[in-house]
Structure 1
Amino acid sequence: MNNNQLGTRPHYQLLDGLRGVAAIIVVCFHLAEPLASSHLDNLVNHGYLAVDFFFLLSGFVIGYAYDGRWDNLTIGGFLRRRLVRLQPLVILGMTLGAIGFYFTDSTLWPLIHTVPVWKLILVMLIGYTLLPLPLSMDIRGWQEMHPLNSVGWSLFFEYIANLFYALGLRKLSNKALAGFVVLAGAVLVHFALTSPNGDVAGGWTLNAEHMRIGLIRTLFPFFAGLLLSRVARPASINYAFVWSSLLVAAVLLMPRLGGAERLWVNGLYEAFCIIVVFPLIVYIGASGVVPTQREAKLCQFLGNLSYPLYMTHYVLVYFYVAWISNHKGITIAQAWPYALLTFSGAIVLAYASLKLYDEPVRAWLRKKLN
């Protein structure tokens, strides 16, 4: 932890670093996804579980940062702080997605050039609010609530979790919160074991099924993270960043389990990771000691980069996916230079977004809203 800011609680630097590690693996997951023949053989098979990890991290950090401040904090003040933190990059991601929309020429999206400009602008403006779009407004054809920036769905559910927390669940005692978390965990296990796909993936379409999946994926990890922030007593663990980063990578890179015949095996693995392994990783990260200035700077860099990387990388992935779809049968050996170029571009775009847009805009908003 770092406590070099006067008047603030100690800051969990290692958790920032872990968020960056997970964001990088998300990019790798999206680059490997179009090269897989099905959801059973993706090279980065469980990369989508990073979203569930982000939810748990978010719940932990929100509880740690805000649980003890409600005597001097209003619901409106809390929501303003969350909007300042999250919304600028939501707007940037949607804007970049709209700019790149007509340039992603692909056999996957043969009709996007027929979308009128007024409809593109309307989709972009609604995207700024993160309100989910109905299927009739899905201009890309992937059945997504945010067709200009695919990852927007998880921010929609992040806001829902923040609203639940601010409007009432923050008032639960630890015992009541534990009961809620156990119930949410039981629902998660049931869903994971009975999912027709054998996994917890879903939440990005505005229909009853995906809304249910999105809520299931949000409620347990977010409020388990909140509970963990209240009851955990961090120890002092050496090499915590190394061990916790390896655990994150191991979970997200794990090959598909059970195959097409025993889908429940993979579902059980994912439920176990979300319910047991992810809280353990966060506990290790919260217990870690930053041994050197170099490691502290690495964690700070990864933490600062994580959210911009998550919110802007898919803008470039659209071009990459379009290129893959226009070269049927391409192998990983042939595609890796383009994947590396896209990955490098995503890192550069994220850093530029952070320094040239996100940090200045957030500083301006804080000055205006305080």
Structure 2
Amino acid sequence: MTPPSNKPVAREHFKSLDSWRGVCAILVAVHHFLLFSNNQFNGKIFHSLYLCVDFFFVLSGFVITYNYNNRIANISDLKSYAIKRIGRVWPLHVALMFALLALIMTVKHFNIPSPYTIGASPTTYDLRKFSLVLLLTNSYGFFSGGWNLPSWSISAELCSYIVFAFAFMRRAKLQYIVLITIISAAFTVGLSNDHMNLTANFGAFRCLWGFGMGSICFFIYDRYQVALRKASSILFAIAELSILGLIVCMLNFSVTMQGNTTAISYLAPIIFPVAVLIFAFERGLVSKFLKMKFLIYFGNLSYSIYMVHWIVLLALSSANYIYKLKQHLPAYDAVPMWGHLYWKWNLMENGEFFQFLCLFLILVVLISHVTYHMIEVPFRDMASRFVSNIKKNKSIGLISQ
């Protein structure tokens, strides 16, 4: 396969893919909610929803390659790109880290044990890890996960942004991308003791694999999109439903009945690019549903939803020990898991389960709405203005010379 020409691709906005990002963020939040509660819905598929993170990686690879593969030609372009990407992801991470620090200080003040038992070991909120996680070094295997645990994937994505930006600068960019992807897949399989469930323990390789597959997916889309658009809408409708069925099967067989991962999970970075390629055309019935405004808005909030939900989970669990809320939240059960004793919400009664799940998701979406508009958008725009000013000043300098 030869790379596409350097002619700029007409800019599209993939609304259905945006919606998928929001859906996956919510599914990851639901996964963690189910994982740390005793309920009647903890089936194999729900245990494997952690693989939605790999859909993020693939989707990021597709979108970043679509937007930047012909726009990074030198170190100056790379710097501008890096500033924009850091301005996109880091400010919210910083804000949530200090919010979590405040929560942990409150926990210690009230002698509340819950965040140390729900989803965390006693070393998770070790202050020595705080600066390391703050600097997003938590996907390189230097230390075990800590603080806002989902942020490991942001660390991994930031690594992928830079690695693939160097590949974009090469003449034979597609060959470099394929090479990076193959090497990353090999390291993921070789380093993991839990199949695809590689996180703080070298999760950067897992991300590079998925990101690379998404990038390759874009080149396929770019090369064959004219021919594929001639296919009938019925064919796309069948393709969308078929890939969804395949994903469900993959999720179902990616874990055992006991919740342990299987080698089937390695199919995630292979199946998800096919889904991205199909839904990029937005021709099927599922795509039409995904283009509904509320789902697109969830897509806009997806980064906030993904980053906020863990803190909301911990805050709710901590609230059990505050007198005014104690009698309005579920009780806890002590459950052995991962070699430790963890506390899980007792939500075996279906009515209480759905009420508390709704409360959790509503809080996550409301807080994400605030963080999106007050942190994400302002700092994203600030980074863009900063890059524009640098380019403007350089242009003025060249003219004056």
Asked if the contact 1:244–1:285 (Cα under 8 Å) also holds between the matched residues in 2, the reply is no
- Following superposition, the deviation at residue 260 of structure 1 comes to 6.0
The separation in 1 between residues aligned to 2:129 and 2:304, in whole angstroms, is 21
Q: Which residue pairs with 1:154 in the alignment?
A: 153
Is 1:328 equivalent to 2:333 in the alignment?
yes
The separation in 2 between residues aligned to 1:244 and 1:59, in whole angstroms, is 23
Is 1:90 equivalent to 2:80 in the alignment?
no
Q: Do the aligned partners of residues 186 and 304 (structure 1) sit closer, same or farther apart at CA in structure 2, a change above 3 Å counting?
A: same
Asked if the contact 2:71–2:77 (Cα under 8 Å) also holds between the matched residues in 1, the reply is no
Q: Which residue pairs with 1:280 in the alignment?
A: 274
Which has the greater radius of gyration?
2
The separation in 2 between residues aligned to 1:225 and 1:153, in whole angstroms, is 19
Matches within 5 A, 1:1-370: 9-35=11-37, 44-71=46-73, 74-104=77-107, 105-107=112-114, 109=116, 126-132=132-138, 143-144=144-145, 146-147=146-147, 149-168=148-167, 171=170, 172-188=172-188, 196-197=193-194, 199-204=195-200, 210-211=201-202, 214-232=203-221, 233-234=224-225, 235-236=228-229, 237=233, 238-239=236-237, 243=241, 246=244, 250=248, 254=252, 257-259=255-257, 266-275=261-270, 277-289=271-283, 295=291, 297-322=293-318, 323=320, 327-328=332-333, 330-333=346-349, 334-370=352-388
- Following superposition, the deviation at residue 316 of structure 1 comes to 0.5
The separation in 1 between residues aligned to 2:267 and 2:132, in whole angstroms, is 36
Q: Which moved more, 1:314-323 or 1:149-158?
A: 314-323
Q: Secondary structure, in 3 states, of the residue corresponding to 1:328?
A: strand
The separation in 1 between residues aligned to 2:373 and 2:238, in whole angstroms, is 29
Residue type of the alignment partner of 2:279: G
Identity %: 21
- Following superposition, the deviation at residue 162 of structure 1 comes to 1.4
Q: Do the aligned partners of residues 287 and 252 (structure 1) sit closer, same or farther apart at CA in structure 2, a change above 3 Å counting?
A: same
Asked if the contact 1:29–1:47 (Cα under 8 Å) also holds between the matched residues in 2, the reply is yes
The separation in 1 between residues aligned to 2:239 and 2:27, in whole angstroms, is 16
The separation in 2 between residues aligned to 1:249 and 1:125, in whole angstroms, is 37
Q: Do the aligned partners of residues 257 and 359 (structure 1) sit closer, same or farther apart at CA in structure 2, a change above 3 Å counting?
A: closer
Asked if the contact 1:45–1:252 (Cα under 8 Å) also holds between the matched residues in 2, the reply is no
Asked if the contact 1:41–1:256 (Cα under 8 Å) also holds between the matched residues in 2, the reply is no
The separation in 2 between residues aligned to 1:230 and 1:135, in whole angstroms, is 31
Q: Do the aligned partners of residues 180 and 354 (structure 1) sit closer, same or farther apart at CA in structure 2, a change above 3 Å counting?
A: closer
Asked if the contact 1:17–1:300 (Cα under 8 Å) also holds between the matched residues in 2, the reply is yes
Asked if the contact 1:60–1:227 (Cα under 8 Å) also holds between the matched residues in 2, the reply is yes
- Following superposition, the deviation at residue 173 of structure 1 comes to 3.8
- Following superposition, the deviation at residue 367 of structure 1 comes to 2.3
Q: Do the aligned partners of residues 248 and 26 (structure 1) sit closer, same or farther apart at CA in structure 2, a change above 3 Å counting?
A: farther
Q: Which moved more, 1:178-187 or 1:10-19?
A: 178-187
Q: Deviations over 1:224-274 (max 9, x none)?
A: 11111112234345559974994597368636644469x7xx533211232
Q: Do the aligned partners of residues 337 and 241 (structure 1) sit closer, same or farther apart at CA in structure 2, a change above 3 Å counting?
A: farther
Asked if the contact 1:19–1:303 (Cα under 8 Å) also holds between the matched residues in 2, the reply is yes
The separation in 2 between residues aligned to 1:308 and 1:259, in whole angstroms, is 32
- Following superposition, the deviation at residue 178 of structure 1 comes to 2.9
Asked if the contact 2:58–2:211 (Cα under 8 Å) also holds between the matched residues in 1, the reply is yes
Q: Secondary structure, in 3 states, of the residue corresponding to 1:47?
A: helix
TM-score normalised by the chain length of structure 2: 0.70
The separation in 2 between residues aligned to 1:272 and 1:177, in whole angstroms, is 19
Structure 2 gaps of 5+ residues are 1-8, 321-328, 335-345, 389-401
Q: Secondary structure, in 3 states, of the residue corresponding to 1:65?
A: helix
TM-score normalised by the chain length of structure 1: 0.75
Asked if the contact 2:290–2:296 (Cα under 8 Å) also holds between the matched residues in 1, the reply is no
- Following superposition, the deviation at residue 299 of structure 1 comes to 4.6
Q: Do the aligned partners of residues 108 and 294 (structure 1) sit closer, same or farther apart at CA in structure 2, a change above 3 Å counting?
A: closer
Q: Do the aligned partners of residues 53 and 170 (structure 1) sit closer, same or farther apart at CA in structure 2, a change above 3 Å counting?
A: farther
Asked if the contact 2:184–2:206 (Cα under 8 Å) also holds between the matched residues in 1, the reply is no
Q: Do the aligned partners of residues 244 and 66 (structure 1) sit closer, same or farther apart at CA in structure 2, a change above 3 Å counting?
A: farther
The separation in 2 between residues aligned to 1:248 and 1:28, in whole angstroms, is 21
Q: Secondary structure, in 3 states, of the residue corresponding to 1:332?
A: coil
- RMSD, aligned α-carbons: 4.0
Q: Secondary structure, in 3 states, of the residue corresponding to 1:200?
A: coil
Asked if the contact 2:19–2:291 (Cα under 8 Å) also holds between the matched residues in 1, the reply is no
Q: Deviations over 1:60-100 (max 9, x none)?
A: 11111001112476211110111121122112221221222
Q: Secondary structure, in 3 states, of the residue corresponding to 2:12?
A: coil
